[in-house]
């Protein structure tokens, strides 16, 4: 068996010989862990003794060419380009974008390049955390993107790029600039699988225009990307690898929830004073506090117990005792935002320090609106100077239970 693919969960130990795993040379004594939902193509370079333990539903398949020739030809063309190089990898869900990105990163690293990889999928984040996008530099060859040390990340607040396309584009540009400013020879931009429909086209075309990659790697089975790439230059079209594995929505969600559980495992509750800590992507703290008299008046007019409120004349933000169900909101104010007290529990937030450096994630456990204090669950111990409110709510077991169309307050 000269080459094969291992579909996880599985464990590989090379007893003797030499093999390649996504361009990484594996020597005797080294081990590879293939998580559930992942697959690793293995090329055997010489007679080898390999110990493989397979988990539930794992398997091994012999594949003559797990790394397609077109991939190797594309990488050869990229490597010969003048430095620095920006490479954007696009394709449908489970087309092999991450596999190609890892393979390219390994080859570039072996050529002596300073390799930066940017992960632009907040739903299946490998380098950073779910709800974020991030990047890092290789300090060795790798078999999976999660082995790349995180250099910096940006909180998007959702797991779906279509919920925040402008935020994604601006943040992606910032990460590319940061990587280049940190002397990257090659920046590999691994994008999400959102490619179908007019909004996906607008997003991907805008992303290409703002980043201006030297090469666009288009991984497609047919012509599903042509509505995006047809009129761009420096497009290299390649096919999917036969080693690619299709993952269900449930598997993707399970992967995110496992990441949350691991990340928040050693968290503590912190009380954040919002009089000294900034909060963004929220109406709360941006208006003038409503008087008791005005709250009572609004409560009577709306037949609703209102506990707290703010306004700047254009928007009206109200915290209610019961579930708000207000008809004809436009007659009350230009923009009316309501939230039931307690429903903020579980909302995910991004935490930053003074220079806007991403610190990590937090989960709101309670807000004292009158005193402007927020309790959050987080493993972050650094001083927090800015909190960004997200669109996603988690329960006590870190399972995703609800996603808002926008930040809910």
Question: Please, which residues have CB within 8 angstroms of residue 37's CB and are 6 or more apart in sequence?
Answer: 8, 245, 247, 251, 255
Gap between the Cα atoms of 69 and 218, Å rounded = 15
What are the backbone angles phi and psi of residue 161, rounded to the nearest 5°?
A: -55, -30
**Do the beta carbons of residue 257 and residue 399 sit within 8 Å?**
yes
Query: Residues 372, 154, 152, 254: is their CA dihedral positive or negative?
Result: positive
| 245 and 281 housed in the same domain | no
What are the backbone angles phi and psi of residue 224, rounded to the nearest 5°?
A: -65, -15
Give the SS3 label for residue 388. strand
Gap between the terminal Cα atoms of the chain: 58
| 165 and 184 housed in the same domain | yes
| 199 and 226 housed in the same domain | yes
Q: Global pTM?
A: 0.93
**Do the beta carbons of residue 335 and residue 313 sit within 8 Å?**
no
Q: Which residues pair with 186 in a beta bridge?
A: 85, 115
Tokens found for residue 232:
């761009």
CATH code for position 317: 2.40.30.330
Mean pLDDT of 229-251: 88
For the cut 90, the answer to whether the pLDDT of residue 328 exceeds it is no
Question: Please, which residues have CB within 8 angstroms of residue 73's CB and are 6 or more apart in sequence?
Answer: none
CA 231 to chain centroid: 28
Task: Output the pLDDT for position 406.
Answer: 87
| CA distances, 269 to each of 264, 362, 363 (Å) | 11, 9, 9
**Do the beta carbons of residue 375 and residue 367 sit within 8 Å?**
yes
- Higher confidence at residue 247 or residue 139? 139
| 75 and 29 housed in the same domain | no
| 123 and 250 housed in the same domain | yes
| CA distances, 257 to each of 119, 131, 389 (Å) | 18, 11, 19
Query: Any idea of the CA torsion for 143, 149, 155, 157, to the nearest 10 degrees?
Result: 30
Task: Output the pLDDT for position 63.
Answer: 84
| 298 and 380 housed in the same domain | yes
Mean pLDDT of 109-137: 97
Task: Output the pLDDT for position 25.
Answer: 94
Q: What is the pLDDT of residues 53-108, one digit of tens each?
A: 999 999 999 888 888 999 999 999 999 999 999 999 999 998 999 999 999 999 99
Task: Output the pLDDT for position 369.
Answer: 97
Gap between the Cα atoms of 346 and 363, Å rounded = 5
The residue whose two tokens read 């005792």 is: 321
Q: Which of 292-306, 320-334, 376-390 has the lowest mean pLDDT?
A: 320-334
| 99 and 142 housed in the same domain | yes
| 254 and 115 housed in the same domain | yes
Overall size of the chain counted in residues: 409
**Do the beta carbons of residue 304 and residue 340 sit within 8 Å?**
no
> Maximum CA pair distance of the chain?
84
CATH code for position 241: 3.40.50.300
- Higher confidence at residue 170 or residue 328? 170
Task: Label residue 313 by pLDDT band (50, 70, 90).
Answer: confident
Task: Output the pLDDT for position 23.
Answer: 92
Q: How many domains does the chain have?
A: 3
For the cut 70, the answer to whether the pLDDT of residue 327 exceeds it is no
Task: Output the pLDDT for position 284.
Answer: 96
What are the backbone angles phi and psi of residue 308, rounded to the nearest 5°?
A: -160, 150
| 160 and 143 housed in the same domain | yes
| 275 and 359 housed in the same domain | yes
**Do the beta carbons of residue 187 and residue 173 sit within 8 Å?**
no
Mean pLDDT of 337-350: 96
Q: End of a domain among 231, 261, 291?
A: 261
Query: Residues 70, 71, 77, 80: is their CA dihedral positive or negative?
Result: negative
| CA distances, 281 to each of 141, 156, 303 (Å) | 38, 11, 29
Q: What is the pLDDT of residues 251-276, one digit of tens each?
A: 899 999 999 999 999 999 999 999 99
Which candidate, 271, 327, 273, 315, places its Cα nearest to that of 290?
A: 315
Gap between the Cα atoms of 178 and 135, Å rounded = 9
| 278 and 382 housed in the same domain | yes
For the cut 90, the answer to whether the pLDDT of residue 352 exceeds it is yes
Query: Residues 300, 306, 307, 311: is their CA dihedral positive or negative?
Result: negative
| 83 and 178 housed in the same domain | yes
Q: End of a domain among 45, 62, 79?
A: 62
Mean pLDDT of 137-143: 96
Q: End of a domain among 27, 42, 62?
A: 62
| Domain containing residue 235 | 69-261
Q: Which of 13-22, 331-340, 363-372 has the lowest mean pLDDT?
A: 331-340
Mean pLDDT of 242-246: 73
């Amino acid at each position: 068996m000269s080459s094969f693919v291992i579909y996880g969960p599985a464990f590989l130990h090379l007893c003797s010989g030499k093999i390649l795993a996504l361009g990484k040379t594996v020597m005797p004594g080294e081990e590879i862990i293939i998580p559930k939902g992942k697959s690793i193509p293995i090329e055997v370079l010489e007679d080898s003794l390999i110990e493989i333990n397979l988990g539930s539903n794992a398997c091994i398949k012999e594949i003559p060419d797990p790394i397609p020739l077109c991939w190797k030809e594309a990488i050869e063309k990229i490597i010969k380009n003048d430095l620095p190089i920006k490479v954007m990898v696009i394709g449908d869900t489970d087309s092999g974008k991450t596999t190609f990105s890892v393979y390219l990163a390994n080859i570039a690293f072996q050529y002596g390049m300073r390799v930066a990889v940017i992960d632009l999928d907040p739903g299946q984040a490998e380098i950073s955390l779910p709800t974020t996008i991030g990047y890092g530099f290789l300090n060795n060859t790798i078999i999976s993107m999660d082995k790349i040390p995180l250099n910096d990340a940006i909180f998007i607040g959702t797991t779906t790029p279509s919920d925040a396309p402008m935020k994604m584009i601006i943040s992606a540009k910032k990460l590319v600039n940061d990587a280049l400013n940190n002397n990257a020879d090659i920046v590999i931009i691994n994008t999400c699988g959102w490619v179908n429909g007019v909004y996906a086209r607008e997003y991907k075309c805008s992303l290409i225009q703002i980043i201006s990659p030297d090469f666009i790697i288009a991984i497609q089975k047919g012509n599903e990307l042509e509505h995006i790439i047809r009129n761009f230059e420096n497009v290299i079209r390649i096919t999917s690898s036969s080693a690619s594995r299709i993952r269900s929505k449930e598997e993707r969600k399970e992967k995110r929830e496992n990441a949350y559980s691991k990340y928040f495992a050693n968290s503590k509750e912190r009380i954040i004073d919002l009089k000294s800590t900034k909060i963004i992507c929220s109406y709360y703290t941006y208006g003038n506090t409503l008087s008791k008299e005005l709250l009572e008046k609004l409560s009577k007019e709306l037949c609703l117990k209102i506990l707290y409120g703010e306004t700047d004349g254009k928007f009206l933000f109200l915290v209610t005792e019961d579930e708000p169900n207000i008809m004809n909101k436009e007659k009350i104010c230009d923009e009316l935002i309501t939230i039931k007290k307690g429903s903020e529990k579980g909302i995910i937030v991004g935490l930053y320090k003074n220079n806007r450096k991403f610190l990590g994630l937090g989960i709101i456990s309670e807000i004292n609106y009158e005193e402007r204090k927020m309790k959050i669950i987080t493993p972050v111990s650094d001083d927090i100077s800015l909190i960004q409110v997200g669109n996603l709510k988690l329960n006590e077991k870190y399972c995703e239970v609800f996603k808002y169309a926008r930040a809910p307050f």
